Amino acid sequence: MRKSHATTVICFFEGMRKTYFLYGLGLGLLLIVLKLIEYQFLVRMHIFEIYGGLIAVLFMGIGIWAGLKFTHKAPAPIIVQVPPAFDENKIKELGISKRELEVLELITQGLTNQEIADKLFVSLNTVKTHSARLFEKLDVNSRTKAINRAKELGILRVN
């Protein structure tokens, strides 16, 4: 049986496949060897830059770690303030107004006169006037005594 021209060409390329593979493998290995030599030359020529870069990366990592470790703050606890309950009968008996009661409540929260004025959208003098009238009605002369007296009278609930 005679082989056709197409069959001869296919057989020729099948035999060459092994040769091409070995040739490509040899070139690949040679390329790897040349790159390693080039790498060795690069490392020898720029050794101080490489060491400097490695040290910089090391210290940058330590700095980031230390920054995260030592500046991490725990979240602040959430404080929920329950508005104090008032004894309506005692409030009417003493003649304390709603605004004076609001001022008393803000005093119990430890706010300054200016902070109370800002919170109630009134002037500082208005807060001072309400505080003075409240002190008169409770028969006291300081904020601490006003809070204690209000608790004694049942105007504020003892927490």
Question: With 80 as the cut, is the pLDDT of residue 44 above it?
Answer: no
Q: Is the pLDDT of residue 54 over 90?
A: no
Provide the percentage of residues in the chain whose pLDDT is more than 90. Answer: 22
Q: What is the 3-state secondary structure (H, E, C) of the chain?
A: CCCCHHHHHHHHHHHHHHHHHHHHHHHHHHHHHHHHHHHHHHHHHCHHHHHHHHHHHHHHHHHHHHHHHHHCCCCCCCCCCCCCCCCHHHHHHHCCCHHHHHHHHHHHCCCCHHHHHHHHCCCHHHHHHHHHHHHHHHCCCCHHHHHHHHHHHCCCCCC
**Given this model, what pLDDT does residue 116 score?**
92
Handedness of CA 125, 131, 133, 136 (dihedral sign): negative
pLDDT confidence bin for 68, thresholds 50/70/90: confident
41 vs 105, more confident: 105
The CATH number, out of the four listed (3.90.700.10, 2.40.128.130, 1.10.10.10, 3.20.20.70), of the domain defined by the range 88-153: 1.10.10.10
Domains of the chain, by residue range, sit at 5-71, 88-153
Q: Is the pLDDT of residue 140 over 90?
A: yes
